[in-house]
Amino acid sequence: MRLAASLSAAVAGVLTMALGGCASAPQAYGLQPATSRALSTRGTLAIPRPDAAPPLDSDLIVVRESGDRLSSLPGGQWAARLTHLVQNRMVQSFENAGLARSVRSDGAPADRKLALDIRRFDIEAPTREARVEISARLIAESSGRTVAAKIFSASEPVAEIAGAAPALALDRAFGQVSRQIVVWAAGGR
């Protein structure tokens, strides 16, 4: 009887620790692919993983405090590294635009490459804005020459810098940017 009571107490302790750990685990957020229409694209388009400097090349939801001090959203993170999420959602955005046959993300040969550089993907605390800025370059695979380049940006208001609001605002801003990139890249500009 005493052994059963000890086992019960041990199991209860382990369950309490496990449940306590789950309660403090950060909430994971994702991004939605854009929905837009593009008439066509010239040839095939490779979309490699974007470039990003730390801390953007992580799963942190970055908060830019006053004085350019950086922190992360307490209790929240991206469901994967931001560069992986952006690559996957950009591919899906092109597919949603009716260009699934034209897009490559697996290293297969393509006519052009869409090189993306995530410059900003953060919450600006002093202004309570979600800001996304992505530099895009279309590169001819045969010559390695940049045929077009453009910087895309969007911002969305954030009601509070806590809970799901920052991630949702960043998702809305990313939706605007990804729609613009799809239309621009499909036009071959």
Domain boundaries in the chain? 28-186
Classify burial at 74, counting beta carbons within 10 Å of its beta carbon; exposed 0-12, middle 13-18, buried 19 or more.
Answer: exposed
Average pLDDT over residues 66-76: 93
Position 7 scores a pLDDT of 35
Q: How many residues does the chain have?
A: 189
End-to-end CA distance of the chain: 78
**Domain 28-186 classification at class level:** alpha beta
Provide the whole-model pTM: 0.83
Position 9 scores a pLDDT of 38
- Contact indicator for 41, 188 with CB cutoff of 8 Å: yes
The answer on pLDDT for 137 being more than 70 is yes
Task: Give pLDDT tens digits for 93-135.
Answer: 999 888 888 888 877 788 999 999 999 999 999 999 999 999 9
* Better pLDDT: 2 or 121: 121
Predicted confidence band of residue 176 (pLDDT cuts 50, 70, 90): very high
Tell me what percent of the residues of the chain surpass a pLDDT of 90. Answer: 66
Predicted confidence band of residue 61 (pLDDT cuts 50, 70, 90): very high
What single-letter amino acid sits at 97? A
Closest CA to 31 of 72, 104, 91: 91
In this predicted structure, which of 15-19, 74-78, 79-83, 124-128 has the lowest mean pLDDT? 15-19
